[in-house]
Amino acid sequence: MHILLIHQVFVRPDDPGGTRHYELALALARSGHKVTILASPYSYQTGLRVTEKQREMLAPGLEVIRCSVWGNVHRSFFWRAIGFFSFMLSSLFLGLAQPKVDLVWGTSPPLPQVLTAWLVARLKRAKFLFEVRDLWPAFPIQLGILRNPVWIWISLQMERFLYRRADCLVVNSPGFVDHLTTHGAAPEKIHLVRNGVDPAMFDPASKGFGFRAKNNLQGKFIALYAGAHGVSNDLEILLDAADLLCDDPRIRFLLVGDGKEKPHLALRATEMKLENILFLPPVPKQGMPEVLAAADCGIAILKPIPLYGTTYPNKVFDYMAAGRPVVLAIDGVIRKVVEEAGAGLAVPPGDPRALAEAVRALADDPARAQEMGRRGRACVERDFDRREQADQMENLIEETVHNNPKRETK
């Protein structure tokens, strides 16, 4: 089959960010399918150009084609919207130019690219698979980022339109299912392919001594946050927790990544005279095993809005695969995973004191922390292995394509 994935913020292993789609696409290509990915040439996390190549073969059968994009994801909502809609148009023309497409795979967020995926699928007489990774526009509405009533109405109508017209709907968290069914999706079309991780990427026995030495962190208890520094991530709370632990010379907070909030966070940390916090630039996914090996625990945090309780964040599974205990400031379905696995400590979102106390508790009891890490690793090996998820996705794609009448291809 020829599978066309339209994904503006697609991440390769040598880019910072989550590589779910690279791993799934690579597995599909290794199974004999042709996978073409239409992507932006810019990193969503840093806003910087990641390649000058317009076409790139990542593996036999796996090609990335870069589309024209205007705007900047690190600027205002207006310019972010320009970026989304310019990609929507450029990917439409490149999508229509692809030969003999069997299935078009659209992934959200952002939502406009999924509209392009639907249109390309219909014009190419291909099947349309809609993958929901976040609830858009519900998340930006709850965050107060999307406030214009006209844009809200348009976005909600687009969401319902796409749910109803998808041949197959894939969610990466069980928390999303109720939202989809109450917003127009047929329950029989919804399939869960959970978020997860490739455990083989990480060695829980590694201690990251080289990384520690390079960053003058020898002998410290490292509480790591790795990922985007955006509005959703509520990292102001992490700074407040670091302030509460200034009296404990053992503990260092390490923030690795980038995002539009990072300059403000770094400035605030300087104003607060926080000497127990270190900001580092984003690291490509292939470099993250070394970073996580140096950590003693991983922090996952989101703003305390109800809908964030529906998510399965990437970083939680990375921490668990690395055998590191999780300090989780997120409620809902991911809290259930961590607590049932015994893989870390959950605290109320938006509570810096509780976050600080959890980090101190792990620093006080290394044996307990290491046992939590072992349990987390066992959990992802058993229930959240990306290789099994790739098999699920392939089976869904095969079923979606072959359950339909024979069609002509363009």
- Tell me if 22 sits within 8 A of 37, measured CB to CB: no
Q: Do domains 2-196+385-402 and 199-383 have the same CATH topology?
A: yes
CB half-sphere exposure, 314, CA atoms < 13 A? 16
Phi, psi of 226 (to 5 degrees): -125, 120
Other Cβ atoms less than 10 A from the Cβ of 285: the count is 21
- Tell me if 25 sits within 8 A of 107, measured CB to CB: no
The two tokens of residue 210 are: 């080289």
- Tell me if 244 sits within 8 A of 237, measured CB to CB: no
- Which position has the token pair 């003693």? 296
- Give strand ranges (E) for 195-247: 221-226
Cα gap 41→48, rounded to integer Å: 8
Of 173, 166, 172, which Cα lies nearest the Cα of 189? 166
DSSP character for 72? -
Cα gap 197→195, rounded to integer Å: 7
In the chain, what are the domain boundaries?
2-196+385-402, 199-383
* Matching CATH number, 199-383, of 3.40.50.300, 3.40.50.2000, 3.40.50.720, 3.30.70.100: 3.40.50.2000
CB half-sphere exposure, 199, CA atoms < 13 A? 20
DSSP character for 49? B
Percentages (nearest 5) of helix, strand, coil residues in the chain:
45, 20, 35
CA angle 48, 304, 324 (to 5 degrees): 70
At how many degrees (to 10) do helices 235-244 and 352-364 cross?
Answer: 60
pLDDT in tens, 89-131: 999 999 999 999 999 999 999 899 999 999 999 999 999 999 9
The CATH code of domain 2-196+385-402 reads 3.40.50.2000
- Which position has the token pair 């605030």? 268
Of 22, 137, 129, 19, which Cα lies nearest the Cα of 81? 137
pLDDT 10s digit of each residue in the chain, 410 long?
999 999 999 999 999 888 999 999 999 999 999 999 999 998 877 778 888 899 999 999 999 999 998 866 555 666 777 888 899 999 999 999 999 999 999 999 989 999 999 999 999 999 999 999 999 999 999 999 889 999 999 999 999 999 999 999 999 999 999 999 999 999 999 999 999 999 999 999 999 999 999 999 999 999 999 999 999 999 999 999 999 999 999 999 999 999 989 999 999 999 999 999 999 999 999 999 999 999 999 999 999 999 999 999 999 999 999 999 999 999 999 999 999 999 999 999 999 999 999 999 999 999 999 999 999 999 999 999 999 999 999 999 999 999 743 333 33
- Tell me if 233 sits within 8 A of 258, measured CB to CB: no
Cα gap 150→152, rounded to integer Å: 5
Decide: helix, strand or coil at residue 351: coil
Burial pattern 73-109, b for ≥16 Cβ within 10 A else e, equals: bbeeeeebebbbbbbbebbbebbeebeebbbbbbbbb
**What is the value of pTM for the model shown?**
0.93
- Tell me if 318 sits within 8 A of 292, measured CB to CB: yes
At how many degrees (to 10) do helices 149-165 and 112-124 cross?
Answer: 40
pLDDT in tens, 363-383: 999 999 999 999 999 999 999
DSSP β-bridge partners for residue 49: 42
DSSP β-bridge partners for residue 148: none
